[in-house]
């Protein structure tokens, strides 16, 4: 096992880190990684949204608290009791199609819930760094072939995307009103960043209406999966890619570097975008059992077809680049599910080790102790 403790200059060792949404897909992976780096993790979230659940399978040695982010009283109590220093805020209603059915709940969780998390941070003096997770869908989408930059206009046609764009605007208002870098270390001690990543894949995601989970669930039952929008292009990346970016940004905030307060895109290089159909073909190479058919959707709900991120800002300022291309991301993700369904094996540790080992070979700055 790679020595995880020294990654990100060792800043997470012994650090009290509160993760909202820890029972979810991305939350469970970040908790796993934080735990391996010796962080004292406190999770705050509703119960795991899926069964099976990656979080439950991992049996992590963290403090797991079940609660709603819109429950101010409970949230404040948890912050007061555990006094976290760093907060990764991932709790959300993250599904586009569900947001059409439950727009009010989506907004309540994603905007008001996030605001309550920030208020809890404001009320708790131990909190110094906040990394708040939004999405690449926060941009007003023109379906064009260029990548969106952090300075591009926010928007969102569906309720999920617009709720996250609203969350970005609300976060920026907190960054101006309460966590302003001009007042940093004078009237407050908090640095806050928002992070925008695209469609992530990786083992342990069983959410509905997501391509990879839909494919593997069908394959496990020897069914043919029906695919809508085969030509849609997405910036696919392994879940560990944005997580290494979030953790690196977290490191900079922990190190009190106020120039890292702001919004940041984390995505694959532009040449890595592939269509839904290509994803299927590549997955089938690893797991030949996968069977699919393509059908036009009966219900035409708007979902962006072409969406790319420009990641020049993180490349230049954080020296962050992805470690795996889409091919490796798809290969390891497919193997994760294949091992799960065929042997009930959980390959999370194996994938994290492979990822860190490849990052070391590529001299990624977060693998070196830069203190
Ligand atoms: N998975 C992706 O492809 C993707 C892409 C872009 C952005 N994101 C963002 O990343 C974050 C995590 O997404 P995910 O894919 O892990 O989703 P997920 O559904 O697997 O996890 C969401 C988590 O939030 C929790 N949650 C939901 N409502 C809550 C509430 N009211 N109070 C407390 N907890 C609540 C759930 O219990 C779960 O732990 C979200 O903010 C999402 O918008 C995800």
The pLDDT tens digits for 42-101 are 999 999 999 999 999 999 999 999 999 999 999 999 999 999 999 999 999 999 999 999
Q: Give me the residues of the chain with pLDDT under 70, please.
A: 1-2, 296-305, 370-371
Kindly report the protein residue whose alpha carbon is nearest to atom 32 of ligand 1: 68
Question: What pLDDT sits at residue 300?
Answer: 61
Report the distance separating Cα 349 and Cα 57, nearest Å: 12
pLDDT of residue 339: 96
| Atom 21, ligand 1: residue with shortest CA distance | 24
Task: Give domain limits for the chain.
Answer: 15-297+306-365
Q: How far away, in angstroms, is 102 Cα from ligand 1 center? A: 15
Between helix 25-36 and helix 240-254 the angle, nearest 10°, is 60
Residue of the nearest CA to atom 42 in ligand 1?
94
Q: List the structure tokens of 259.
A: 């120039």
Closest atom of ligand 1 relative to the 205 alpha carbon: 20
User: Is 135's C-beta closer than 6 angstroms to any atom of ligand 1?
Assistant: yes
Would you give the end-to-end CA distance of the chain in angstroms?
A: 23
Cα distance between residue 3 and residue 5, in whole Å? 6
Mutate to test the pocket of ligand 1, among 21, 117, 263 (most ligand atoms within 8 A of CB): 21
Cα-based distances in Å from 280 to 52, 225, 226, 335, 339: 22, 10, 11, 14, 18
CATH architecture of the domain 15-297+306-365 equals 3-Layer(aba) Sandwich (3.40)
CA of 22 to the centre of ligand 1 (A): 8
Tokens (6 digits) for 322? 């992805």
Task: With both helix axes pointing from N to C terminus, report the angle between 326-343 and 348-361 in degrees, rounded to the nearest 10.
Answer: 160
Residue with tokens 């994290």: 352
What is the model's pLDDT at position 184?
A: 97
Q: pLDDT value at position 299?
A: 61
List pLDDT tens digits, range 139-187.
Answer: 998 888 889 999 999 999 999 999 999 999 999 999 999 999 999 999 9
Across the chain, mean pLDDT equals: 93
The verdict on the CB of residue 114 being under 6 Å from ligand 1 is no
Share of the chain above pLDDT 90, in %: 81
Q: Helices 276-286 & 211-220, crossing angle to 10 degrees?
A: 40
CB 68 less than 6 A from any atom of ligand 1: yes
Atom 8, ligand 1: which residue's CA is nearest?
A: 135
Collect all residues with Cβ–Cβ distance below 8 Å to 307 and sequence separation of at least 6: 136, 137, 139, 141, 148, 198, 233, 234, 235
Q: How far apart are CA 197 and CA 84, in angstroms?
A: 25
Phi first, then psi: what are they for 65, rounded to 5°? -115, 130
User: What pLDDT does 302 receive?
Assistant: 58
Q: Residue 93 C-alpha to ligand 1 middle, in angstroms?
A: 6
Per the DSSP assignment, residues forming a β-bridge with 129 are 86, 191
- Evaluate whether 159 touches 219 at the Cβ level (below 8 Å): no
């Amino acid at each position: 096992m790679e020595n995880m403790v020294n990654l990100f200059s060792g800043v997470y060792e012994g650090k009290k880190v509160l993760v909202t949404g820890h029972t979810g897909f991305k939350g469970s992976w970040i908790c796993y990684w934080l735990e391996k780096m010796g962080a004292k993790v406190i999770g705050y979230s509703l119960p795991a949204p899926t069964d099976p659940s990656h979080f439950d399978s991992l049996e992590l040695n963290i403090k797991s608290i079940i609660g709603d982010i819109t429950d101010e009283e409970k949230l404040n109590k948890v912050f007061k009791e555990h006094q976290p220093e760093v907060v990764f805020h991932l709790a959300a209603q993250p599904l586009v199609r569900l947001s059409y059915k439950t727009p009010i709940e989506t907004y309540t969780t994603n905007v008001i819930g996030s605001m309550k998390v920030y208020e809890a941070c404001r009320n708790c003096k131990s909190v110094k760094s906040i990394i708040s997770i939004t999405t690449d869908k926060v941009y007003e989408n023109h379906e064009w072939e260029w990548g969106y930059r952090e300075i591009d206009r926010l928007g969102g046609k569906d309720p999920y995307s617009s709720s996250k764009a609203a969350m970005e605007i609300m976060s920026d208002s907190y960054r101006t009103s309460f966590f302003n870098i001009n007042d940093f270390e004078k009237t407050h001690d908090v640095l806050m960043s928002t992070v925008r990543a695209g469609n992530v894949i990786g083992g342990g995601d069983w959410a509905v209406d997501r391509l990879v989970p839909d494919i593997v669930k069908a394959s496990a039952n020897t069914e043919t999966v029906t695919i809508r929008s085969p030509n849609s292009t997405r910036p696919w990346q392994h879940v560990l890619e944005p997580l290494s970016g979030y953790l690196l940004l977290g490191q900079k905030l922990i190190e009190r570097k106020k120039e890292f307060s702001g919004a940041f895109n984390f995505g694959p290089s532009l040449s890595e975008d592939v269509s839904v159909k290509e994803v299927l073909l590549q997955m089938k190479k690893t797991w030949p059992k996968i069977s699919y058919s393509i059908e036009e959707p009966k219900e035409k709900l708007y979902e962006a077809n072409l969406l790319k991120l420009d990641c020049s800002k993180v490349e230049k300022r954080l020296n962050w680049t992805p470690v795996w291309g889409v091919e490796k991301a798809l290969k390891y993700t497919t193997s994760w599910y294949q091992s799960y369904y065929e042997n009930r094996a959980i390959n999370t540790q194996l994938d994290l080790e492979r990822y860190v080992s490849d990052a070391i070979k590529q001299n990624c700055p977060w693998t070196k102790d830069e203190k």
